[in-house]
């Protein structure tokens, strides 16, 4: 079990900020090799669970910062809560392990397909059930320069994760054969993996979408406001001054403040918005800012526009459990933590993109961009995507670079640039090829001035979402389970 835990922890180095993508293959290959020794579905479940504890314990432990430092939870209780959450997340690789141990049969290629299909479906379930938490899906490790990056536009992050799992498992199974069969094993491994990698390389050079129109000048503002100050009445005037000063020095046609840059419109001093609006109108610019908007005594996490393109609004649709709303039967949790604005109302599912200076911009807020299939509802109408985030909750942790890596994947999946305006980082622009041409250093105050071109056209993923990858995995899993009745002796075929 300890090797499974260590293999899971190793996978975290394949994600940003280290982004050593080959380690994703190594981590899954170790798990697949361990599962080969599992004598039952129960043993396979235990190995997958151990892998998951290592991966999520090392990969999302930054959630502790939000609960203990900013949520006021007792340190031991906060640590225990994160442990329980990681335990829940570990159930999904455990399910994949159990499926593999129960139904494995046949040669190395067949067993690798079974492992990959089970892995893909388990990750999709983790990203879907109970509102989902797809953070650290293994496909995110394969951003450029990985040769698998070209598949994002076709199969999405789950499909890329499935390909990663297949290559890793095939390597593990072929490496385990007797010395007399090594040559045949090497040939079996090299042919499909080379085909997968070469196809991915080719897909990354295919132009699914094309730029359209003149570049738009955008100013992405990073106020770098400490989270503890955002809800401190004594600091409110200073927070407003910082935001106004940064807006006034920004040069773009569209100026963007991050999520909840204005904690709530109810608290604003009289004339604050009017003064900002007058300045923007005079310059012919539009301000897009995050703000809490009150409706019928409850708040919505929204993005609103002021100035030349004023009067538009987007409200966050996919809320964070325990942070923005209480799941049923979990109201007691808020007696242990003090989280501001923790009972919010979600926005309507069907919300039109913003129209700013002749461009359609699809807005999403904070962790909404980890749900790739939900962003495609604004396509192909929107030519740009914009994420407003506030990761100050998680301090100086891996949350920031991991979130930027997720944004890169969304840009590749949808064939649209992803602009990011964040409170403390990482404020950046990600392009449809997965590159990040410009980014502000984290925990600095400033304005990222950039020019970005809208795109037209659709990627296969933007048209069909996760359906092709899921259908393929289900078909493979069903066929292999049915074939399991033949009880073939494991070999190379």
Active site residues: 259, 316, 366
Judged by phi (left if over 0) then psi (alpha if -120 to 50, else beta), residue 294 lies in beta
CA dihedral defined by 232, 238, 240, 241, rounded to 10 degrees? 180
- Asked if 154 and 202 touch (Cβ cutoff 8 Å), the reply is no
From the number of C-beta atoms within 10 Å of its C-beta (0-12, 13-18, 19+), residue 159 rates as: buried
Terminal CA-to-CA distance of the chain, rounded, Å? 29
- Asked if 131 and 4 touch (Cβ cutoff 8 Å), the reply is no
Question: Which residues make Cβ contacts (< 8 Å) with residue 173, sequence separation at least 6?
Answer: 32, 33, 36, 108, 111, 112
The values of phi and psi at residue 344, to 5°, are: -105, 165
Which long-range contacts link 186-193 to residues 24+ away (Cβ below 8 Å)? 188/108, 188/109, 188/492, 189/108, 192/109, 193/167
Query: Within 13 A of 51's CA, how many CA atoms are on the CB side?
Result: 29
CA pair distance 445, 138, nearest whole angstrom: 32
From the number of C-beta atoms within 10 Å of its C-beta (0-12, 13-18, 19+), residue 76 rates as: exposed
CA pair distance 115, 439, nearest whole angstrom: 38
Nearest to 455 by CA among 386, 382, 403, 366: 382
User: How many DSSP H helices and E strands does the chain contain?
Assistant: 15, 12
């Amino acid at each position: 079990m300890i090797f499974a835990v260590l293999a899971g922890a190793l996978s975290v180095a394949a994600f940003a900020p280290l982004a050593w993508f080959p380690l994703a293959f190594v981590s899954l290959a170790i798990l697949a090799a361990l599962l080969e020794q599992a004598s039952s579905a129960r043993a396979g479940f235990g190995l997958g669970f151990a892998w998951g504890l290592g991966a999520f314990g090392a990969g999302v432990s930054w959630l502790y910062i939000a609960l203990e430092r900013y949520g006021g939870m007792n340190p031991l209780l906060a640590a225990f809560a994160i442990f329980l959450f990681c335990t829940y997340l570990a159930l999904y690789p455990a399910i994949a392990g159990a499926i593999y141990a129960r139904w494995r049969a046949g040669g190395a290629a067949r067993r690798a397909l079974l492992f990959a299909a089970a892995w893909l479906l388990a990750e999709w379930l983790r990203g879907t059930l109970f509102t989902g938490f797809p953070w650290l899906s293994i496909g995110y490790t394969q951003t450029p320069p990985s040769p698998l990056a070209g598949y994002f536009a076709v199969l999405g992050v789950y499909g890329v994760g499935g390909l990663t799992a297949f290559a890793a498992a095939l390597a593990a199974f072929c490496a385990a054969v007797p010395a007399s069969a090594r040559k045949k094993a090497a040939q079996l491994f090299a042919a499909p993996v080379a085909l997968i990698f070469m196809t991915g390389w080719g897909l990354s050079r295919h132009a699914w979408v094309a730029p359209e129109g003149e570049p738009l000048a955008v100013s992405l503002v990073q106020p770098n406001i400490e989270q503890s100050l955002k809800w401190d009445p004594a600091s409110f005037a200073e927070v407003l001054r910082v935001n106004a000063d940064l807006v006034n020095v920004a040069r773009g046609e569209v100026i963007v403040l991050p999520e909840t840059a204005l904690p709530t419109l109810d608290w604003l001093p009289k004339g604050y918005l009017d003064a900002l609006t007058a300045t923007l109108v005079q310059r012919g610019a539009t301000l897009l800012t995050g703000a809490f908007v009150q409706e019928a005594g409850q708040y919505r996490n929204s993005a609103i526009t002021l100035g030349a393109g004023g009067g538009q609004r987007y409200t966050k649709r996919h809320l964070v459990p325990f942070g923005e709303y209480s799941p049923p039967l979990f109201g007691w949790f808020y007696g242990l933590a003090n989280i501001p604005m923790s009972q919010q109302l979600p926005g309507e599912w069907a919300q039109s993109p913003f129209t700013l200076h002749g461009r359609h911009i699809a807005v999403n807020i904070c962790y909404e961009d980890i749900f790739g299939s939900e962003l495609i509802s604004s396509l192909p109408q929107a030519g740009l995507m914009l994420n407003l985030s506030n990761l100050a909750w998680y301090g100086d942790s891996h949350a920031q670079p991991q979130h930027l890596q997720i944004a890169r994947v969304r840009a590749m999946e949808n064939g649209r640039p992803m602009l990011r305006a964040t409170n403390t980082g990482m404020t950046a622009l990600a392009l449809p090829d997965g590159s990040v041409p410009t980014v502000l250093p984290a925990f600095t105050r400033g304005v990222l001035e950039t020019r970005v071109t809208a795109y037209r056209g659709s990627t296969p993923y933007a048209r069909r979402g996760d359906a092709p990858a899921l259908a393929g995995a289900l078909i493979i899993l069903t066929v292999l389970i049915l074939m399991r009745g033949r009880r073939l002796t494991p070999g190379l075929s």
